[in-house]
Structure 1
């Protein structure tokens, strides 16, 4: 067993158990207590006429595991083979033997990481589950290792000689290890819920808004890291009319005439008739093909990529900076596919890759973008936007741009999204002496075939991201709006932005229709409420909820309360933030706090869950402060421009000043128990702060940058990112920036215990960045730990690694901020 799975209550291996037992040798006594039967729920007999018990068959585990989910639900009764059975208190059971199966359910609540043994007496044949995971006993004794929080225990009994003799005892390892047992169904938020609960993974709305496709996925113990995904075709009343369960479709598109859906599945391009649900294969053997769209009712337009022949030579000669990327020599061209025959014809050609930006089937034209030179040695690769006439194969250059994100037709005009420096600074709204942050997306309109351009969002503070265009020429834009992700409608005729009322703090995915009254299908969440799926009428600007994950994934769950907390920094600028407060907060007590930030030119948005689960940290008894320091997009160009050539200069001040303001506002936070953490640029900030202040008692940096020069030269996109973060500055012309702002050059100033986390296959911020800091701090005799996740890249995605990663961070802070080292020592025992 991986000892980092302790929050699931798994039985440790002998090796791990021995290592853990050494932690308890200082206490020679054990602390035992019988469980009160009134704290246990009982149901049974289940299928009293059962001739053979599951253990007497060849399918015991399958039978038990299929029954388990029904028993775990917070319901007062279940119905089995037509018989309704009610849960009752175990102390009301007075029986010798009962037919069929019986089940018991209880909640074990830990105020801190707790180890001990649960002994069950009087049940000859039983299976015990903690948080859905089966436990393996030694005789009748189960080893427990539970993190802070509520844990559901379910016992399914198959053979009991006398129910009056059934007893439960819990024996703690030490007097600090305590569990409270109860029959309550209300519980605190768990890591499993945040990762496993159902979410919308894909969505698509038909052009007439009468049908939509939605994919939902969830995780469970039996499938481990593999998601369980189901895609359904639904009508406008949200009723399912077609269901994909085994293979899952991708690249879903709808025919303009509203008759068909086309999608990729199992390597084949398939067409589904929306009325008859009949199916045909259009084409196959399409490896490398993607981005399919209906060009018209009879043809599809798509990109088809070709990988170079495998190179078996002993060396690789780099042709340019991009050759460090594993995919750099893959080329992609544009094709048109005839739906009736499956025949494809190429539209673009040459050594350069072409990408489809948009197309206009009535005019017979396609907007394409391409890099002007492969392997170009520049921090801002130049993009050429061209218009291709399909009928004669001729192309016209619309423009050559150093800054470019996306382009879409708007009738005879073209929308472009790009940074403020597009077209020689057309979108700039800054003092003359400031450099733009081109991650701060802006919206432009090109007219007269690109000869004229106008900036549409220069006075619009949100940063423009995804762009879509309606039939009337208006645009839907997904934007970063302070710490939210929102949808806005750009009214082209009135030249103004109108916010669409999705009801979400964070819009995740959206799809729109092309009818006269266009609608938007959108998924998203709020800081304190999980994901929902809604449909919004653009004309009425009103949304209705189609699906809510809360009843299914978060029933009877306590969620942290949320405060808005903003302060004015020393420069007179308001810095936004928010504070998550533990449930059952007692303001007369003192609480540890965690300060989280990013700082890498994007705000930390208000999604309910994600890689950094603020609500979970609050459930573990921490006040959590999320701060949006200077340099983030979504707050206006001048705010984001301060990110350029700063490398933490303003960000560090805002974090430290914000933390001091936090302590004044919330006197129940213990100033001597503050932790801070961040990832990527936020990991860089953690290391940098450790060289500037001792206000924190423990710090965690995930995938952080310790040496700006080595990141610039070795990270796959380091030099590209530095093109904005270090604009016009290089190690040879601004050595001070690259050295003075690099944490490793100031490692001797660190006094705070520091945990470095990193994926050992990180291509964005190579793992050597953590090695640099670890080596320096070890040589200096500082308190530092380094943990690598094997095979992980810049982010931790896999379910087992994610749980391990979350537990590791909480255990580290528990050790340093709560004086509770047991969880950390359990995960990483000293040899």
Structure 2
């Protein structure tokens, strides 16, 4: 932090916080000339815009000295500049904060030609330009091409009103920003060689000049973390290793290639495999993979539905399993038929494969049937091991087959609830079957975490990724001891992992903590010890202000502990009153502790909100009794938990203003938001993203509505339980709504159709309620594209600023009223 006297700080704050005030030259940093002296004026070149834009990353950093073309230039306060003029390019930099949404005009004087960049993005080339600044820290860089007299250069900010102020505090830390959270480099895929001597990482990041296009790179490292090869256009998750770790196969630019690690030579082994995926070495000489064929485009005037699945765009795509001979390129089909086959696992030693296929059968929830099928490649025969209503995946191991499925698998083998209680089959359990499926054993009935996916080690033990309350760790299941051991990667949420299992098993794990960004770890399984390979914090979050995190739990009216956590704004002053946001999901999954994501709790805290995230009744990861409460409830106990939790939170955190509470959720959480507006006036503003307003229409129209309802409304239908479908649907109680409500929805949402928000919007408009509807164009159920994500995040914060901070300006800027 710059050292100044208290008087100078006060003078600077006063001089720069009033409307139409010049910015103190002490608060403006100058650098120049940039590069070697030249009589050629940059604006006379054909590439002026590109030349200047390429300077900005170097000028944006914290370095005091910048070297360009062998010439060093140092940043210094503009007030200390003695030169009147100089050749080439010069630049000014201002770093400041705003404690609310600020609007005004930036005015330059004494510069004949300049380029203004705001937070690293080109903003304007005009001497007067408009600034619209959300809460947080900002940086302006002005690149000057022609200045006759630097003593006459002045910069002013004319605020739109008295509260539109720029605060030059000179602080050494920076407020966490939306751009950081979205653009920062992250690892999107990892792959470990079987012998642990190499690994491949795919990393991606965004930058403003590339818009929605991520910049990705895939790199091959040795065990000493040294780069030895790059694989352009390849995703680490899609490549496969030979068992000895000396060769890998990957698809690149339409060609299937092998790479020999001994000499780093690649060879094309096949081409034109459109629709092929999931390549793996069946043995040292052949690959096994899935190959999909989509039907020709339907140009007819009508669409004849052949079943409920036809609502899916991919329903008539056929997928089968194939072998490819690496030496000759010969391809041989292993499965066939009208039913698609999903490859679950393969066993080259016994020349067999394990597949699953879906049978159209609506007789019982979830209204589909999965067959587990083994193909004996030597005999050319296949055997149906079993048919199951709940099924996630299967793997060979321990002289049989491991299966992940819900508690009702194999006639309720995994149930751990009372006999009169319906299990929640989203609560994943682990099972073992013999090779004929005749004998089965439940392996996780007393293990509360919900099992999501598994990998089987060569000794028959299992690595399971689970949901454990609001964390997503890895566990080792020791089959000989029938025991689960948590693997210590020191991460709250494991996002990607890969196993090396040729010698002593090791893991490569990428993930985050609730208050720390992504890291890549190597985990020694036998020692249960991790080392950090890569950390995004110093790369993208250096000196960032991260919210303080506290755990906050309460006991509900049923005597059940409801877990939660609270994010506190940086430098929180407990003598003041703060607005708060309450977030929940309420469906079958707990709200993850990921550092960032679609709902960035740390960003909300950075904008001055205390954030309370709770895990109401019904979520998986807390045991089967807890998750079973989701079935046939549709918000009944969940709403009570959210209301009771919010009241307990207000008691525990007296610096939260009970008159300035916002609540929000998405999907099932969006349904919960709508439902809560009909049940309580506890909140001052509510946001529902992609929420369900009418359970019946969602059940009948959403792509997966009838499948999800097979659990959420198990055995209940509009004709046999109309009360559930109507009285639990928010739109049937729209007249009870008193809370201002924002409905957000992607207009291309196939999971929860946008009509769900339109239905509630129509009702509330006709009732004269305070309601807004915003559609995100081209967005499905989740908002992925960079430009839409920023607009979406801004929309939510602007809406809450309007209602909870009495600051409508941001919302007015975005939406005009």
> TM-score band (shorter)?
over 0.9
| 1:7 corresponds to | none
Which residue matches 1:16? none
For these two proteins, the number of residue pairs brought into alignment is 801
- Partner in structure 2 of residue 24 of structure 1: none
The alignment status of 1:210 with 2:191, answered yes or no, reads no
Distance 2:200 2:554 in 1: 44
Correspondence for 2:12: none
Q: Is contact 1:593–1:624 with CA below 8 Å preserved after alignment?
A: yes
In the alignment, the residues of structure 2 paired with residue 505 and residue 459 of structure 1 have an alpha-carbon distance, to the nearest angstrom, of: 22
1:722 counterpart = 2:722: no
Contact 2:403 2:432 in 1 (8 A): yes
Where does 1:610-689 land on structure 2 (aligned, <5 Å)?
610-689=597-676
Distance 1:275 1:54 in 2: 50
Aligned residue for 1:272? 259
Alpha-carbon distance in structure 2 between the residues aligned to 1:377 and 1:49: 80
CA distance in 1, matches of 2:741, 2:773: 9
For the pair 1:801 / 2:753, whether they are aligned, the reply is no
How far does residue 353 in structure 1 lie from its aligned partner after superposition?
Answer: 0.8
Show CA shifts across 1:208-228 (max 9, x none): 111111011111111100000
Aligned-partner Cα distance in 2 for 1:39–1:95:
18
**Is residue 2:423 matched to residue 1:429?**
no
**1:103 matched residue in structure 2:** 91
- The answer to whether the 8 Å contact 1:352/1:373 transfers is no
Q: Which residue of structure 1 aligns with residue 13 of structure 2?
A: none
CA contact (8 A) 1:113 1:146 kept: yes
Which residue of 53, 70, 84 corresponds with 2:58?
Answer: 70
Q: What's the CA shift for 1:449?
A: 2.7
The residue that corresponds to 1:136 in the other structure is: 124
| Residue from 82, 85, 89 that aligns with 1:94 | 82
Consecutive unaligned residues in structure 1, runs of 5 or more:
1-29
Q: Is the 8 A contact 2:189 2:235 kept in 1?
A: no
Tell me, what secondary structure is at the counterpart of 1:752? coil
Which has the higher mean CA deviation after the structures are superposed, 179-188 or 237-246? Answer: 179-188
Find out whether 1:379 has 2:388 as its counterpart. Answer: no
**Distance in 2 between the 1:338 and 1:159 partners?**
66
Q: Contact 1:248–1:265 at 8 Å: present in 2 too?
A: no
Kindly report which structure 2 residues correspond to 1:234-633, keeping only aligned pairs within 5 A, or say none. Answer: 234-245=221-232, 251-373=238-360, 379-633=366-620
Question: In structure 1, how many angstroms separate the alpha carbons of the residues matched to 2:637 and 2:788?
Answer: 34
The 2-side partners of 1:470 and 1:137 are apart by 60
**Contact residue 250 and residue 265 of structure 1 kept, 8 A:** no
CA offset at residue 671 of structure 1?
0.3
Displacement of 1:184: 4.2
Question: By how many angstroms is 1:78 displaced?
Answer: 2.1
Contact 1:119–1:141 at 8 Å: present in 2 too?
yes
State how far apart, in whole Å, the 1-side matches of 2:236 and 2:255 are. 10
Q: Distance in 2 between matches of 1:309 and 1:88?
A: 65
| Cα drift, residue 613 of structure 1 | 0.5
User: Which whole-Å deviations, capped at 9, do the CAs of 1:191-247 have from their partners, x for residues lacking one?
Assistant: 000100000011101111111110111111111000000111111111111113466
Counterparts of 2:237 and 2:387 in 1: how far apart (Å)? Answer: 33
- Further displaced range: 47-56 or 513-522: 47-56
Report if aligned partners of 1:299, 1:337 keep a CA contact under 8 Å in 2: yes
CA contact (8 A) 2:195 2:244 kept: no
The answer to whether structure 1 residue 225 and structure 2 residue 212 are counterparts is yes
CA contact (8 A) 1:322 1:375 kept: no
For residues 574-593 of structure 1, what are the alpha-carbon distances to aligned partners after superposition, in whole Å with 9 as ceiling and x for unaligned?
10000001111010110000
Higher relative contact order (CA closer than 8 Å, sequence separation 6+): 1
TM-score, normalised to structure 1, is 0.95
Per the alignment, residue 103 of structure 2 pairs with 115
Distance of 1:534 and 1:497 partners within structure 2: 21
| CA distance in 1: counterparts of 2:352 and 2:137, whole angstroms | 60
8 A Cα contact 2:36 2:69, kept in partner: no
Aligned to 1:11: none
Decide which moves more: 674-683 or 314-323.
314-323
- Out of 180, 187, 193, the residue aligned to residue 174 of structure 2 is 187
1:818 aligns with 2:801: no
Deviation at 1:572, TM superposition (A): 1.0
Q: What CA distance in whole angstroms lies between the structure 1 residues aligned with 2:236 and 2:451?
A: 29
Q: How do 1:674-713 residues align onto structure 2 when only pairs under 5 Å count?
A: 674-713=661-700
Find the aligned partners of 1:783 and 1:773 in 2 and give their Cα distance: 12
Aligned partners of 1:277 and 1:708: how far apart in 2? 57
User: Partner of 1:737 in structure 2?
Assistant: 724
In the aligned structure 1, how far is the partner of 2:724 from the partner of 2:613? 27
Residue 320 of structure 1 contacts residue 375 of structure 1 at CA under 8 Å; is this kept in 2? no
RMSD: 1.5
Give deviations 1:609-658, integer Å, cap 9, x for gaps. 00001000001100000010000000000000000000001110010000
- 1:262-302 Cα offsets, whole Å, 9 max, x none, are 11111211111112111111111111111111100100111
The Cα shift of 1:564 comes to 0.6
